[in-house]
Amino acid sequence: MNATVYLKHEISAAHWLEGYDGPCVNLHGHTFLIEVWCKGPIQDDGMVIDFKQIKDILNEYDHRTLNFVMDVQPTAENFAVLLLSKIPFAIKVRVWESGKAYAEVNLGDL
């Protein structure tokens, strides 16, 4: 049987947007709220994926400068794509850059 699990987690990270025409061209930080949906078979341990495993992946980016750990422009959109590709069973990732703005990617969008 399949199940969907959901996790909400915050990390703090810095970035700048190379060539951007505005203040985001400068180094600045965000407290990113990240939401992750994972769907898959319930394993023998009773879980699709351990929430700790998801948190461990997200925490790889905590207190980091995203420009130094991403191969593309570190926008919220690209960060969401990266996380979706790294988290097993992930079907959707939403990256909130502020309380008013987020980027979302779904497995079907890639």
Is 41 within 8 Å of 33 (Cβ atoms)? no
Q: Is 28 a catalytic residue?
A: no
**Which one is catalytic: 9, 24, 77, 104?**
24
| Cα dihedral: 47, 40, 96, 66 (round 10) | 90
Does residue 38 have an active-site annotation? no
Catalytic residue of the set 10, 18, 28, 63: 63
CA 35 vs. chain centroid, Å, equals 7
Catalytic annotation on 30? no
Active site residues: 24, 63, 97
